[in-house]
Every structure is written in C-alpha cells, then in structure tokens.
Amino acid sequence: MQQTLTQALDFLKKNHLKVTKQRKALLTYLLDHQDQYHDVTLVDEYMRQEFPGMSHNTIYRNIREFEEAGMVEQQMNGDQARVKYQCDFAHMHHHHFICQNCGRVTELEECPLDVFQEQLPGYQIDGHRVELYGLCPDCQKAATA
C-alpha cells in the first residue's frame, strides 16, 4: 500500500512529533523510495544537500524517532543501517521478501512464528524478524533474457 505525504504527516502528529520542513522533506524522500531499503548514509546525504546546516545527529535522531513511532523500518546490511518507510500501518507486524538484485521489498502476509514456537517447547520468544531473499519475477525474467 502506497502511503501519501498527508497520511504520513497525520501519523507524525498522532505520535506527538512536531511537523518541521526537515521532517516533511525526510518523509517525502522515504515515501518516494518506500519500495526499497536505503542506506541511512544516502538518506543523510540527501538531507544534508537539502538542508546544508542540518547535522548528522539531527538526521539520525529523526530516523530513530520515526522508527520508535513505527513510521520506518530498519535493517542491518553488514555494518550498514538501512531504512524504509513502513509499508503497511494496518499490519504493523509483517515480514518481507527482498530482491537481491533490484532491492524491491514485497510484504509477506503470513507470519511463521507458530512453526518456530512448536519447535521450541518451553521457550519464550520475545521477538523475531523474518526476511526472505532471492530474485523478484522482473529480475528473473531479465536474467533469462
């Protein structure tokens, strides 16, 4: 589901986060790229081009606040943090397939937690994240063409 800037700003307000021109620009960037994770350094670079006086700390703090509010999702790729706009506010708990070629992110509807819980009788699972990797249909077609 593609989110709009108006929806994003409303979500920002609902989470008691002030709407500033910098946060609006950050949300616009994330919305324009919501189908892929992007290196936080690229987001930082974009924001510093738009707002030359903006510090790295402010950018990273805003990303962290957006994540805490549930507006963005983060993942680690080696030692590099990556971020994308939350793809589905109706289903905050979800998992992804990530194309290893183009980076497109596809939301998965099912959660396999019950399967794991069955394999761990007596254990308490406090959290999980499932990400599947491979090639999307478009990249598979391109590879065979």
> Which residue reads 């289903």 in tokens?
91
Pairing of strands 80-85, 105-108: unpaired
Long-range contact pairs involving 5-13 (C-beta distance under 8 Å, separation at least 24): 5/31, 8/71, 8/85, 11/69, 11/71, 11/89, 12/69, 12/71
The answer on whether 93 is annotated among ligand-binding residues is yes
Pairing of strands 80-85, 38-39: antiparallel
Backbone dihedral angles phi then psi of residue 107, each to the nearest 5 degrees:
-75, 140
The answer on whether 99 is annotated among ligand-binding residues is yes
The answer on whether 139 is annotated among ligand-binding residues is yes
Annotated binding site for Fe cation: 93, 128
Annotated binding site for Zn(2+): 99, 102, 136, 139
Annotated binding site: 93, 99, 102, 128, 136, 139
